[in-house]
Amino acid sequence: MPKYFTSKENITDDIINLDEETSLHLSKVLRCRIGDTITVGDGSDVDYECEIVEITKKCVTAKILDKHLNLNEPSVKITLYQGLPKSDKMELIIQKCVEIGVDRIVPVKTKRSVVNWDKKADKKAERWNKISLSAAKQCGRGRIPEVSDIMSFDEALTDSKVCDGRLIPYENEQKNGLKSFCENFKGKSIAVFIGPEGGFDPSEIENAVKDGVMPVTLGKRILRTETAGLVTAVILLHRLEDEI
């Protein structure tokens, strides 16, 4: 059954009026008909099972048959602070991290970030959030993970202080691993810092450690930037929630 998201403002009593873009996709692409059933999420962990009752050029109206709590959201909230990579790697990172349960993604401009997206940051943010929406629909999430505006590394450190735990995978770390981090972690939110293709500059690692971020090793092999965040999040969710 197809899943879509809508804002709470579009839900009244037992009726949902879907926005024009979603309506066009339902009517023109999927060729849905009156009587077909769809799932609609409100972005706040509530899903509605609905029956389409009216189709116009700009609006699909659906009647709510049932509603229930979406149980697909991890209780541990992971924010990924991702060093800006080259080409379209960011799109892959967003798609896959949303699928496995990351709660929020923050693009970070670091000293070794090659690409400068300052002039097209708004368009990129819009594109990235659409990818997050699409991935959230595909995998049945209860929420749409936010892709934040691009931050500097120092801004990201400040932003991450609201999290209960903070870690930064680093190839030169030999003592601390994800296992030891998870064994001692008691909170509900984790910040994960991942460097771009060239990794973090040593000064960034030093500043992060001084700020209370824990350096960890991901093993003997050095992972690509598009792999490291995904692997880290999967291991954290597995150990802390036994999801897999």
For the chain, the average pLDDT equals 92
The pLDDT, as a whole number, for residue 1 is 66
189 contacts 165 by C-beta, under 8 angstroms:
yes
Residues for the chain: how many in total?
A: 244
Single-letter amino acid code for the residue at 57 = K
Q: What is the predicted pLDDT for the residue at 119?
A: 61
pLDDT surpassing 60 at residue 243: no
Whose CA is closest to 147, among 124, 117, 168, 163? 124
Please state the rounded mean pLDDT for residues 145-159. Answer: 96
What is the band of 241 on the pLDDT scale with cuts at 50, 70, 90? confident
Domains of the chain: 3-69 (2.40.240.20), 77-241 (3.40.1280.10)
Indicate if the pLDDT at residue 134 is higher than 50.
Answer: yes
Q: Report the sign of the C-alpha dihedral through residues 89, 105, 97, 48, in that order.
A: negative
Model pTM?
0.91
Task: Kindly report which listed range (6-20, 47-61, 108-122) carries the lowest average pLDDT score.
Answer: 108-122
Provide mean pLDDT across the span 26-37.
Answer: 88
* Three-state secondary structure readout of 176-197: CEHHHHHHHCCCCEEEEEECCC
SS3 content of the chain, % helix, strand, coil (to 5): 35, 25, 35
What is the enclosing helix (H) or strand (E) of 152? strand 151-152
